[in-house]
Amino acid sequence: MTKVSLHFTQGTDRRLTWGRKDEEYMADFVLVSRRTLTAEEYRIFNYHFLLGADWKLCTRKIGIDRGNSFHAVYRIQKKLGRVFRELEPFGLYPLDQYFATTVNSVEPTRLPRPLKPASRPLQPPLRKAA
């Protein structure tokens, strides 16, 4: 279990909420995957991505050959990648937006324009020789 983190919520009363972001992300990841994939795809996803099995174990457990196993993994990656990116109201990818701790976006301050250089450099006045 990870530690609890506090986050500001948007709105007029500016409340603090607490949550376990790592566990929330893992739950969202698995639930969205389960909803999106077919039963056979989810079975491959479970062995390969969640349990971390290599292709040899996946092909033996699922009963498909090596080529079909790799193609299925690529299809799953493509399918879930799009879903994770386009998920509403908040996508699961990119991660920095999911795990963001700040709510208000601050506009960057504008720096003044640099002065144009003088056409010729400033020089101290010449002394007259005595």
Which has the minimum average pLDDT: 16-25, 53-62, 107-116? 107-116
User: What confidence category does residue 19 fall into, taking pLDDT thresholds of 50, 70 and 90?
Assistant: confident
Looking at residue 115, its pLDDT comes to: 65
Is the pLDDT at 80 greater than 50? The verdict is: yes
Q: Which conformational region is residue 48 in: left (phi greater than 0), alpha (psi within -120 to 50 degrees), or beta?
A: alpha
Given a cut of 80, whether residue 70 has pLDDT beyond it is yes
| Tokens standing for residue 130 | 């005595």
pTM for the predicted model, two decimal places:
0.61
What percent of the chain lies above the pLDDT cut of 70?
68
Class of domain 5-98: mainly alpha
Q: What confidence category does residue 11 fall into, taking pLDDT thresholds of 50, 70 and 90?
A: low
**What residues pair up with 18 in beta bridges, in sequence order?**
6
Domain ranges of the chain: 5-98
- Lowest average pLDDT, out of 4-8, 42-46, 106-110, goes to 106-110
